Chain A
Amino acid sequence: MTLNPMDLTGRRVLITGASSGIGRETAVLLSRLGATLVLVARRADGLAATERMLEGTGHRVAPYDLTATAEIPVWIKQIAAEGGPLHGLVHSAGLHMMRPLQVMTQEALESTMRINLGAAIALLRGFRQKNVVHRQGGSVVFLSSVMGLVGQPGVAAYAASKGALVAACRALALEEARERIRVNCVAPGQIHSEMADQQQQSLTPEQWAAVEALHPLGLGTPADVASAIAFLLADTGRWITGTTLVVDGGYTAH
């Protein structure tokens, strides 16, 4: 039998944002590595489409609106009670908006922070509960962004939320180490995805070309990010916690 250090056979992983883009691609890759998935997003139809793309059996869809952060721990407990404990958690759902200061509102800032940061922390609160995380421990990956590490005009709210994840993951990793729960971030550069297409809609062709030119290896794909997430979830990441894996085609090397 061929050695596969990223084998996830028998592991159960909950993934948010699973109806599109990086979340969907990650779900597909994890299933091909042997994991059983709990697919989370607001849109049930999008989740059903992702489920049809998965390999293996035992997966389930769990439509949920992550803005209801306070109820997340109880909801996750229910998922574990129904289908067994979880080994992994991926928070890939996120809100991106271009908001220059002139049109920034408190509401825009708060809604971005709520989904990108607030839901992440509530998910981990849920995940760490007794009878939810597997007794041997677990691995958690938050989707940050290069915008959490370097700047760009017009994205202060998004950048703040993604930078907050990088900082929070270090503290949470220390808090959860004795529970054998690892907490890490993946920080992608610009990739081709549905969310990126929406971003492209709000930029002029010249602005978009400038974004592209800043990635020495070109723009990435959701699969590039999925591989990094799988690496951190699997035993390949067993001595990695509190860190941010940058997957950006060289964007932040400048």
Chain B
Amino acid sequence: MTKREFLNLFAEIVEEEPTSLTGSEKLREQIAGWNSLAVVSFIAMADEHFELTLSPKAIAGCKTVNDLITLLDRKVAD
């Protein structure tokens, strides 16, 4: 998956315009839709598209969208 494709999926979860995201956004400060339900959605997405089981704890440690991409085990290409 390319980074753009990932950002499009992520935009759907947090209800942002896909084209507005670059990856450098701060999750808590700049993404209004980043809430507890979005965390659950992100876990479901990681499971479905990447076959990865992510823990909420690891996700809580992420500060930016790019940090979330790092969690996906290099399955998102630059």
Contacts and interface: CB of A to CB of B under 8 A. Distances in A.
A97 B41 CA distance: 11
Interface size class of B (residues with CB under 8 A): 10 to 19
A204 B36 contact: yes
B60 A204 contact: yes
Interface residues of A, number: 17
Contact of A154 (B12, B37, B45): B37
Given A102-B12, A103-B45, A203 B53 contact: no
Nearest to B11: A102
Nearest to A200: B56
Contacts of B60: 204
Interface in A82-110: 97-100, 102-103, 105, 108
A10 interface: no
B53 A100 contact: no
Contacts of A202: 40, 43-44, 56
A102 B36 CA distance: 13
A207 interface: yes
B41 A100 contact: yes
B56 A205 contact: yes
A136 interface: no
Nearest to A107: B48
A34 B44 CA distance: 42
Contacts of A108: 48
Interface string B25-42: 000000000001111110
Label chain B's interface by main secondary structure.
helix
B55 interface: yes
A58 interface: no
Contacts of A206: 36
Interface string B4-19: 0000000011010000
Contacts of B48: 103, 105, 108
Contacts of B56: 201-205, 207
Chain B CB within 10 A, most for which of A105, A202, A207:
A202
Contact of A153 (B12, B37, B45, B57): B37
A154 B12 CA distance: 15
Contacts of B43: 98, 202
Given A102-B12, A102-B13, A97 B36 contact: no
B44 A103 contact: yes
Contacts of A203: 40, 56
6 contacts: A98-B43, A108-B48, A154-B37, A154-B40, A201-B53, A204-B39
Given A103-B48, A154-B37, 8 more contacts: A98-B40, A100-B38, A102-B41, A103-B13, A105-B48, A201-B53, A203-B56, A205-B57
